[in-house]
Amino acid sequence: MRFETRSLAGRLVWSLSILLAVFWMIAVGLSIHVMRAEFDEVFDSALQETTERLAPLVVDDYFRRDAGSMPNRVGALTPGTTDEYLTYQVRDAAGRVLMHSHNVGKEPYPAPLTPGFWSGDDRRIFTIATISDTLFIQVADSLAHRREATLESALTLLLPILLLLPLGMFATRWIVVRATSPVSALREAISARDGNNLEPIDLNGLPTEIATIPGSVNTLLARLKHAIQAERDLAANSAHELRTPLAGALAQMELLSQQVTEPQDRSRSERVLEALRRLSAMLEKLLQLSRAEAGIGFASTPVDLVALVKLLVESFRRSRPAVTIIMEPSPGLSELMRAVDPDAFAIAFNNLLENAAHYGTDGQPITVAVTTDGRITVTNAVSAPLAPDLNVYRTRFKRGQTSKPGSGLGLAIVDKLMAQMNGTMTLRSAALQTGHTGFECELSFPGTG
């Protein structure tokens, strides 16, 4: 039986089971202590009664025997038929053994010739005096017999725990799991809430101890949803509203730059144009990020990623003729059907191509590989050293060691969209055949569309 001890149910089961076993052992120990005292009383009473009843018979038998053949040994009537735990000896006042039972030797007992009970290492002896304290009859009981009886009684109490403890653990687990099922349901409902799922938790019939938790969580989710939506709307609306005036300013600045004649004025106008272009690119990335945050990647209709990749590569080539892109599909791969949103995939793939073209080594081609198991890899050579942990590039506004301008949002947008499309993005470095260090970004879409 295996339990998850970190869970509430597992801890309760193990704690209750250990507590049950400890209490059972304490109860058995106390029972053994009481039984041993009671057994001693019963055995002592039987030993005393046996001695008192045996005394007149042994004395009579002693006087009927020949006194010259002492010590006399009394033979058994039915030897070997039963276990005989009691033995006896008849001794005179000097301690000599005059007569003894067949199952004991002629060596005198170590007990003194004093009426009453005496205990040794292996015997419990009761002594009685007869004929004016001239004859002493001693009957001995084996202490091993008493210990055996106590041990058997203890085992009788201990053995049931070997069966009852596992059954008790199963019963305890069943009760605990049923009692904590509302807690598990609430935990699963809360863990399912994230940036893409902020719906209220609807759980009825919860115990009083946790009944107020869903209400508090729902209030927090509502406030969080409102705050996130306000943030998304602000970013999207701001970027959208700024596109038109920024485009106008950019156009006017381009015309103004063509009209100035002074070298100093032309240099300043070029710097202003570059700043406006960077601001325009930043606004475009913010719009893409707001769309990614809105969850546009979820789709149920399969699309052919091979055809979509070819279309996007051709479009990128036409917009940037100086960039060389090499397509390397797997042999025999004609289509790759996956349930993704085409717009979301286009945003993610174009960001990879733009990232490769912008930060790649000039004059080196960009390689796009597509495999039959749903992996699309974009590889480019880099001159600047890469970070030891490439996953830092997933973070917003995190850029490598380069002087080239950029927003630092491209890979963060791709990572967000891939999570929505049930895919993964893997970043790694590789040694290229040209001798350059390569930066690979792999988009993996497992399963079939």
pLDDT tens digit sequence for 279-329 = 777 767 766 666 666 666 666 688 899 999 999 999 999 988 888 899 998
Average pLDDT over residues 419-427: 86
Percent of the residues in the chain that have a pLDDT greater than 90, as a whole number? 6
Q: Which two tokens stand for residue 104?
A: 């004991």
Residue 5 has pLDDT above 60, yes or no: no
Which is higher by pLDDT, 271 or 243? 271
Q: Is the pLDDT of residue 93 over 90?
A: no
Give the tens place of pLDDT for each residue, 143-167.
888 888 888 888 887 777 777 778 8
Bridge-based pairing of strands 123-130 and 303-304 is unpaired
Domain ranges of the chain: 8-149, 232-293, 303-444
Place of tokens 């008790």: 168
pLDDT of residue 1: 46
Name the DSSP letter for residue 76. P
402 pLDDT exceeds 70?
A: no
What confidence score (pLDDT) does residue 377 get?
A: 92
Length of the chain: 449
Beta bridge partners of 138: 89, 127
Q: Say yes or no to pLDDT of 75 above 70.
A: no
Q: Regarding the domain delimited by 8-149, which CATH topology (the fold level of the hierarchy) does it fall under?
A: Beta-Lactamase (3.30.450)
Greater model confidence, 440 or 161: 440
**Spatial distance between the Cα atoms of 363 and 347, rounded to a whole number of angstroms:** 25
Tally of CB atoms within 10 A around 286:
19
Residue 415: pLDDT band (50, 70, 90) is confident
Whether pTM > 0.75 for this model: the answer is: no
- What is the reported pLDDT for 376? 92
Poorest-confidence range of 191-195, 232-236, 361-365, 394-398? 232-236
Question: Which of 138-147, 196-205, 253-262, 274-283 ranks highest by mean pLDDT?
Answer: 138-147
As a whole number, mean pLDDT of residues 37-53 equals 84
Amino acid identity of 177? V
CA gap 135, 55 in Å, rounded: 10
Beta carbons of 444 and 375 less than 8 angstroms apart = yes
Lowest mean pLDDT among 86-90, 134-138, 278-282, 307-311: 278-282
DSSP 317-354: HHH-TTS-EEEEEPTT----EE---HHHHHHHHHHHHH
pLDDT band at residue 369 using 50, 70 and 90 as cut-offs: very high
List the one residue out of 380, 382, 414, 381 whose CA is nearest residue 401.
Answer: 382
CA distance 372 to 361: 29
Q: Is the pLDDT of residue 189 over 50?
A: yes
Specify which residues 368 forms β-bridges with.
327, 378
User: Tokens 């053949």, residue?
Assistant: 69
Nearest to 413 by CA among 281, 317, 311, 290: 290
Q: Judge contact between 176 and 9, C-beta under 8 A.
A: yes
Is residue 82 pLDDT above 60, yes or no?
A: no
Mean pLDDT for all residues in the chain: 79
CA separation, residue 378 to residues 34, 112, 124 (Å) = 82, 103, 93
Please say whether the beta carbons of 92 and 100 come within 8 A: no
pLDDT at 3 over 60: no
The CATH number given to 303-444 is: 3.30.565.10
